[in-house]
Amino acid sequence: MAYRWTNDLTSTDITPKSVYLNRRQILAGTVGLGAIGLAGKAQANDLDPNTLEEITSYNNFYEFGTGKEDPARNAHQLVTSPWSITIDGLVDNPGEYALADLLDGLSIEDRIYRFRCVEAWSMVIPWNGVELADILNKAGVQSNAKYVAFETVVQPENMIGVQRRVLDFPYVEGLRLDEAMHPLTIMATGIYGEPIANQNGAPIRLVVPWKYGFKSIKSIVRITLTEDEPPTSWNKANAREYGFYSNVNPTVDHPRWSQATERRIGGGLFAPRIDTLMFNGYEDEVASLYEGQDLSVDI
Ligand SMILES: Nc1nc2c(c(=O)[nH]1)N[C@H]1C(S)=C(S)[C@@H](COP(=O)(O)O)O[C@H]1N2
Ligand SMILES: [Mo]
């Protein structure tokens, strides 16, 4: 089956080919440094997808260890079938939904998104998934719901990081309802047309492309609609460093490092850092969600 990747950005956001700097060409040595004036100039933050090998071998999934290579080594232990998601709280149709029933009738879309970790590395990932809004609409969101809370599965016998208590598990995350209903917010079930690898959050994980990667919670087993802002794992671990919103923002530094630039995985040892974009490049689509908020306060 041929995949046609739909671009998430409007045409004005797409870097013209003439100024486009392809890191694979640089790696292959087919673009001379002099010709492109590389010295001292940040590389364009383009949408050239990472390879599946890169996407599945450099991960954060603390349930399987804190090292970047630990999830690829350990996540085969994750049991992903059968899988169900409990949807509860302020919904009309609460219950435990088998994954296939939840996805039934929903369209699986292809979305190439930038993915920016708060640690200042990034990738471009071609996801397959459904809009979270479609799932929430199936459950029927009640009018008093204001937030959505998410929870990752805990399989202590299969998860070395849970055994070692490297974080307070289950991993939990949350979004404001308008963020959750935004069309860019997806529940991913695949990458490159393949079922999502265990280390990337099989069988289904959240992807919120304008927020730091830790908001994109993996291997979800519970979704709860709430009236109050739900607790989130990294905020519980260190509230000073990780806020509830965690929108990608090059002008608000992490207390211990700059967020102005990032290292694109796969660029090679000498690749220049690239500029981090406001809302990770999705400003036109999502800035209106935060009108009237001070984003240096609501971190
Ligand atoms: N359950 C769970 N979800 C998680 C994490 C985690 O440790 N546990 N790590 C987060 C962080 S910090 C990042 S950057 C992304 C990494 O996603 P990837 O490994 O698919 O690139 O997953 C996020 N979701
Ligand atoms: Mo991250």
68 or 6: which carries more pLDDT confidence? 68
Q: What are phi and psi of 180, to 5 degrees?
A: -65, -35
Say whether the peptide bond before residue 250 is cis (omega within 30 degrees of 0).
no
Residue nearest to atom 4 of ligand 1 (CA): 217
Q: Is 105 within a domain?
A: yes
The pLDDT score that the predictor gives to residue 40 is: 46
Q: Is 223 within a domain?
A: yes
CA dihedral 86, 88, 91, 92 (to 10 degrees): 70
Structural domain count, the chain: 1
What pLDDT, in 10s, does the model give residues 204-221? 999 999 999 999 999 999
Write the CATH number for 200: 3.90.420.10
14-28, 64-78, 137-151, 264-278, range with the lowest pLDDT: 14-28
- With a 6 A CB cut-off, is 218 part of the ligand 1 pocket? yes
Binding-site residues from annotation for Mo-molybdopterin: 59, 62-63, 117, 152, 200, 205, 216-218
Q: Of the residues 66, 169, 204, 216, which should be mutated to test ligand 1's pocket, given the most ligand atoms within 8 Å of the CB?
A: 216
Distance 95 CA to ligand 2 centre (A): 31
- With a 6 A CB cut-off, is 198 part of the ligand 1 pocket? no
The pLDDT score that the predictor gives to residue 42 is: 59
Q: Is 16 within a domain?
A: no
Q: Is 5 within a domain?
A: no
The pLDDT score that the predictor gives to residue 13 is: 37
Of residues 222, 183, 230, the one with CA closest to residue 94 = 222
What is the pTM assigned to this prediction? 0.89
Residue 273 has pLDDT above 80, yes or no: yes
Residue nearest to atom 11 of ligand 1 (CA): 214
DSSP 8-state code for residue 182: S
Q: Is 3 within a domain?
A: no
Which atom of ligand 1 lies nearest, measured to the CA of 218?
3
Of residues 146, 151, 153, the one with CA closest to residue 181 = 146
CB 191 within 8 A of CB 52: yes
Distance 218 CA to ligand 1 centre (A): 6
Q: How confident is the model at residue 268 (pLDDT cuts 50, 70, 90)?
A: confident
What pLDDT, in 10s, does the model give residues 30-87? 443 333 434 445 568 999 999 999 999 999 999 999 999 999 999 999 999 999 999 9
The pLDDT score that the predictor gives to residue 25 is: 42
Query: Which residue range is the domain that position 221 belongs to?
Result: 23-290
- With a 6 A CB cut-off, is 147 part of the ligand 1 pocket? no
- With a 6 A CB cut-off, is 63 part of the ligand 1 pocket? yes
Residue 29 has pLDDT above 70, yes or no: no
Mean pLDDT of the chain, nearest integer:
89
Q: Is 13 within a domain?
A: no
